[in-house]
Amino acid sequence: METNYRETLQADFDAFDISEELGFILEEPLTQLPDYYRVWLDLANNLTHLIETRKLRDVVHKMPILSPHHLSNHRELRLAHLALGFISMGYVWQEGQHEPAQILPKALAWPYWLISRRLGLPPILTYADSVLANWKLKDPTGDMEIGNMDLIFSFPGGETCRGFFMVSLLVEMAASSGITGSLEVMHAMKISNLIGIQKGLIKVTQSLKKMKETFQLMHNHVEANTFHGTLRIFVSGWRDNPMLPRGLLYEGVSNEPVLLSGGSAAQSSAIQCFDALLCIQHEDETGAFLTRMRDYMPPAHRQLIETLSVCPSLRDFITTCSDSDLCQAYNSCVSSLVDLRSYHLKTVAKYVTVPGNRARAMGCPLRGVGTALNTTGTGGSNLMVFLKTVRNTTQKALILERPTTSRET
């Protein structure tokens, strides 16, 4: 029985391109590409200096147009997508909010577009790039902890940039056991295994608590004014963005500007998996935005969310089976997700709202976003309204009329 269970889980890990230890994080990302692509990696590795000296656009204009057809496997494609994503963001936002580039040159746009099609990702820097595939170990024999990890590519912002992406990565790592727990619940539901469902939910709850605990590291590694005034613009996209209202033209690919959202925590497959598992239905603009964010996830990860979404309703099952232990496990899970979202709200207020209001009072810095994105997320949402709405919708999923029958009694 245990062998069959492990085989079933392993089949899920393979089908949805996840690992038990790392969840949705790309395992052992490459840091090198075939020598043909050296110019891409040279630029990406030197990106901060080129941006700060305002030389990146000049260097990009001299780039050769390289064919992406020499990239032979998934990890090479992910590294190329990551490198071109960082270079593209640097190119667009090098001069800050007042002079964003309107056209992405063909030497960037054409290979980036083709690589994106092969991966099933959009041609913009996504959360799956900057967080899930942008890490390396300083000591390959050491543990995955923040002191032994570094970014493959970085933006201006120094330790704040490193801390922002590294802590986000560690939060995803904390989600891994919850993803496994979600799969266990899904399979236990098929055979109405109440104990299996309860154990899976407990695993998800523990994972959510660990995610919140890990998220608190942000305060040790990310400085609010540097995040808002230096880093944030480089993860901003060109959809629902007042700085690029018409979008970005991809030279040699599109005749009209393309509208794409920047990297956002809404692109985290883990959080959307937990929503799908717990049958938390986000509606109207919020639901439409979250559904659209799935287009920015690797296709296999997106498929897991959709698989969980079409399973029989866990919440309905629990409300009809009159089992108080199961109901308590479900409610604990929902409450932990509410807590995580409430903490996210407070963190956004510290790192976006407060520095944004200060920038408005003092005058906008040239390079930072200033007041342009004070109320808008990098993904294009109305930030605080969106976060409060998803938190409140999550809270409404709690089962208030609890069953009185316990399995123990």
Q: Binding site, residues?
A: 344
Q: Which of 36, 133, 11, 15 is nearest to 83 (CA)?
A: 133
Pairing outcome for strands 103-104 and 135-137? unpaired
Q: Do residues 52 and 101 lie in contact, with contact meaning Cβ atoms separated by under 8 Å?
A: no
Tell me which DSSP letter residue 240 carries: S
Write out the H or E segment, with its range, that includes residue 105: none
Query: 136 has which bridge partners?
Result: 150
Q: Do residues 91 and 57 lie in contact, with contact meaning Cβ atoms separated by under 8 Å?
A: yes
| Amino acid at position 195, single letter | I
Pairing outcome for strands 249-250 and 135-137? unpaired
CA 275, CA 398: separation in Å to the nearest integer? 13
CA 278, CA 331: separation in Å to the nearest integer? 10
CA distances from 11 to 17, 348, 400 (A): 10, 37, 36
282-310 residues labelled b (16+ CB within 10 A) or e (exposed): beeebeebbeebbebbbeebbbbbebbee
Q: How far is CA 283 from the centre of its chain?
A: 21
Binding-site residues from annotation for heme b: 344
Tokens of 215: 């998220």
CA 93, CA 124: separation in Å to the nearest integer? 13
CB count in 10 Å sphere of residue 124? 26
Three-state SS at 382: strand
Burial class (CB within 10 angstroms; exposed 0-12, middle 13-18, buried 19+) of 407:
exposed
Q: Do residues 311 and 186 lie in contact, with contact meaning Cβ atoms separated by under 8 Å?
A: yes
221 CB-near residues (< 8 Å, 6+ apart): 146, 159, 160, 162, 163, 164, 166, 167
